[in-house]
Chain A
């Protein structure tokens, strides 16, 4: 059958030649658990999104750091299934942390998570290499379905697949499909609703001399399958659920039988490919014509060209920044004004301490969260599109040599670019780097890239001290200043990486073997789902922290020990009257005196000596302290501190900061102070979530603590230099 017949809708349902047996449908019962595996770039995520839509949730696998994506899918009117999306892999022998999740799931037959069956996605245009993983899974004895994806690409490449014959050879149901367009999904769902037996065919028999060892492992662990036992012999050091005794037992066996894992694994791979070649000879024919030369390779001649390649890459980056800073500013302003308007509305109609908490605490903090949404959405959209099209792989290819010089890996470019959106997913994306040292350095320096949480701080402060005028006719001075801050973060990141390269020792080798995916148009549904997920995660996770801190701050700024606030108020009033100030001036003086004697003020004063050399006063001090939880709190804090008791809630933060005066009545935010603060925010580690991510990814407190100390030290010293020079 050819891809073209796919659209008939009944393609390849059930076993070849046999009509679908309705009685084989599973009885409605508990959720069927289905695991989704496949090579990277085999369209697995597209399939997952098609099956589950937005019914996805991200959790954690027990004991490892990889995110666990699960979703539910309505297979038929009575059947629902839980679908587990596993990281892409080429084989069941894990090479990276990411891939370990897969083996953990398939090795433990007693686990509650053990899947009822597996759907393997395979790229039909590159069947030989995609079948390797399939044959390994089939040999594990798990009921398996093969989703033959990208039939359209196969056809373009002149690959014709006889699905019926292949189904006969592989002994499992095969569903030809095009997951991006949703072709074949219905047929797959029908097969998924059936009760499947174990695959009928075996693809690899362990050599005779291994059988005694395999049998002993099988007996000891009560396993149902030889091949699984062989994997225990290969992987026992890395299987998380084995006890120390279990491991010692296997180790003894492997020594006793002189088991050589590397040689055996190599031979197994070769044997499997031989078997796959035999199968494909009978089922696949390729007609090569000139126009079948992969268009990707032709595109690559331009996109990875030594001049054009870099120009295009910088163009893409420029477009990304342009989008995030210029295009996002309109919805951001709307959100900002909207919050201010609601605030004004509430304040003019109601009154009382609770209302104050609502307007000065909750709404001020909430505004600080909501305003981010357009930027986060745009950034993640860009990164998702770059990943989806396959361009990201080319970027790593072009950057590898440069990155290596700084102790990084070409693959580090993805976390570094993603770091511009948010360090948390960026640090998580470093998992694809197999080499431990490369990965550690990448994780360590990624937070130095300016993330979107720093944007509000940047825009507010730049808007305060950098004039809005054109440079060189095309750029805007504020834009240039912003770009400068980003570059500062980037250079700090690669120089820190280089320093770490010299400090860290490793014997492990760094690899750079990866597939170049074929260029494809992004699937907007996938991009959309990514955006919704990330924005949701941000609003709920960061939002909770920011909201809590805003409320806490408001309380700390509105109350003080004993009757300190009342005393401050009477004192300020009497002094003001004595100096003959107008009622409005008196009120503002009362407000700032009260703030100064509140808990927050006391704390700010306590740290003031430490930050005075950087040009900061106690008010900025409070914001710095709260920013250590999450840097995006800064603007909200400033807004809260400067608005408590003042009649200025309808103003935007920038107006509040501009109105702030120092002790001589001059504007407080001089260029020296603003730049000092900006530099501090470029370098400082002010994000609990990032520290938590580093902790999770490095499995210990050592690296997050070092990261915190290093970045904050760097920030303090740089800020000090900037302020003392510019003062």
Chain B
């Protein structure tokens, strides 16, 4: 990520997508992990986008998110990957 997008989370304990309750929404603030970020960005998880925790797999991982507040689509990812997406 470049200078324009702060990568470091704010000192106050940041919440990540991992901490969402089922059905709860949040807005992406930044992506913690540069390598993972490239993939997540291409899949439409851009800072400022709204995501909603849609479901968990039977064994608790992976999870699915509904991404975007306009043309929604569903994304599945592992809990460890979700933990790198920080929320505002």
Do A and B interact?
yes
Give me the interface of A with B, judged by CB distance under 8 Å. Answer: 90-91, 93, 95, 125-129, 132, 154, 157, 159, 260, 262-267, 269-270, 273, 280, 284, 286, 294, 296-297, 300-301, 304-307, 309-310, 393, 397-398, 400-402, 410, 509, 511-516, 518
Are A297 and B54 interface neighbours, CB within 8 A? Answer: yes
Give me the interface of B with A, judged by CB distance under 8 Å. Answer: 1-2, 4-5, 34-44, 46-47, 54-55, 57-62, 64, 66, 68, 70-78, 81
Query: Known contacts A267-B4, A401-B62; is A273 also within 8 Å of B76 by CB?
Result: no
Are B59 and A513 interface neighbours, CB within 8 A? Answer: no
| Residue in A154, A267, A307, A400 whose CB lies within 8 Å of B1 | A267
Are B71 and A159 interface neighbours, CB within 8 A? Answer: yes
Are B66 and A513 interface neighbours, CB within 8 A? Answer: no
User: Chain B: which residue is nearest A128 at the CB level?
Assistant: B71
Query: Known contacts A126-B73, A516-B64; is A270 also within 8 Å of B58 by CB?
Result: no
| Residue in B37, B38, B54, B71 whose CB lies within 8 Å of A93 | B38
A110 to chain B, nearest CB (A): 28
Query: Known contacts A273-B46, A310-B58, A401-B59; is A513 also within 8 Å of B81 by CB?
Result: yes
Are B73 and A514 interface neighbours, CB within 8 A? Answer: no
User: Chain A: which residue is nearest B72 at the CB level?
Assistant: A294
Can you report 28 A-B residue pairs in the complex whose CB atoms are below 8 A from each other?
A129-B68, A154-B71, A262-B38, A263-B1, A266-B38, A267-B4, A269-B41, A286-B70, A296-B74, A297-B66, A300-B64, A305-B58, A397-B57, A398-B57, A398-B58, A400-B57, A401-B59, A401-B61, A401-B62, A410-B62, A513-B36, A513-B43, A513-B81, A514-B76, A515-B43, A515-B73, A516-B75, A516-B76
4 A-B pairs besides A263-B1, A286-B70 with CB distance below 8 A are A400-B78, A401-B60, A514-B75, A516-B76
| Residue in B46, B58, B81 whose CB lies within 8 Å of A306 | B58
CA–CA, A128 and B70, complex, Å: 9
CA–CA, A428 and B13, complex, Å: 44
B17 to chain A, nearest CB (A): 12
A346 to chain B, nearest CB (A): 58
Are B39 and A513 interface neighbours, CB within 8 A? Answer: yes
A-B pairs, top 8 by smallest CB distance, nearest first, are: A306-B58, A516-B74, A129-B44, A269-B41, A401-B59, A267-B2, A91-B42, A126-B73
B84 to chain A, nearest CB (A): 11
Number of contacts between A and B (CB, 8 Å)?
136
CA–CA, A128 and B62, complex, Å: 24
Contact partners of B39 in chain A: CB under 8 A: 95, 511, 513
Contact partners of B46 in chain A: CB under 8 A: 269-270, 273
Contact partners of A310 in chain B: CB under 8 A: 58
A408 to chain B, nearest CB (A): 14
User: Chain B: which residue is nearest A133 at the CB level?
Assistant: B42
Are B2 and A263 interface neighbours, CB within 8 A? Answer: yes
User: Chain A: which residue is nearest B54 at the CB level?
Assistant: A297
Are A300 and B55 interface neighbours, CB within 8 A? Answer: yes
User: Chain A: which residue is nearest B61 at the CB level?
Assistant: A401
User: Chain A: which residue is nearest B39 at the CB level?
Assistant: A513
CA–CA, A9 and B59, complex, Å: 49
- Among A280, A294, A401, which residue has the most Cβ atoms of chain B within 10 A? A401
| Residue in B4, B42, B81 whose CB lies within 8 Å of A90 | B42
Query: Known contacts A159-B71, A512-B76, A513-B81; is A400 also within 8 Å of B62 by CB?
Result: yes
User: Chain A: which residue is nearest B65 at the CB level?
Assistant: A516
A296 to chain B, nearest CB (A): 7
Query: Known contacts A263-B1, A516-B75; is A509 also within 8 Å of B70 by CB?
Result: no
CA–CA, A453 and B43, complex, Å: 39
Contact partners of A398 in chain B: CB under 8 A: 57-58
User: Chain B: which residue is nearest A260 at the CB level?
Assistant: B2
Contact partners of B40 in chain A: CB under 8 A: 513
CA–CA, A413 and B54, complex, Å: 23
Contact partners of A128 in chain B: CB under 8 A: 44, 68, 70-71
Are A511 and B81 interface neighbours, CB within 8 A? Answer: yes
Contact partners of B81 in chain A: CB under 8 A: 511-513
CA–CA, A90 and B42, complex, Å: 7
Contact partners of B71 in chain A: CB under 8 A: 125-129, 154, 157, 159, 284, 286
A230 to chain B, nearest CB (A): 14
User: Chain B: which residue is nearest A264 at the CB level?
Assistant: B2
CA–CA, A125 and B73, complex, Å: 9
Contact partners of B64 in chain A: CB under 8 A: 300, 397, 516
A152 to chain B, nearest CB (A): 15
A417 to chain B, nearest CB (A): 18
| Residue in B38, B41, B58, B74 whose CB lies within 8 Å of A515 | B74
Contact partners of B74 in chain A: CB under 8 A: 294, 296-297, 300, 515-516
Are A512 and B62 interface neighbours, CB within 8 A? Answer: yes
CA–CA, A263 and B41, complex, Å: 12
User: Chain B: which residue is nearest A306 at the CB level?
Assistant: B58
Query: Known contacts A266-B5, A270-B46, A509-B35; is A129 also within 8 Å of B73 by CB?
Result: yes
Query: Known contacts A128-B70, A128-B71, A400-B62; is A265 also within 8 Å of B77 by CB?
Result: no
A581 to chain B, nearest CB (A): 68
B69 to chain A, nearest CB (A): 9
Query: Known contacts A294-B74, A301-B55, A515-B74; is A273 also within 8 Å of B44 by CB?
Result: yes
Query: Known contacts A129-B44, A262-B35, A515-B73; is A401 also within 8 Å of B57 by CB?
Result: yes
CA–CA, A671 and B66, complex, Å: 56
Contact partners of A518 in chain B: CB under 8 A: 73
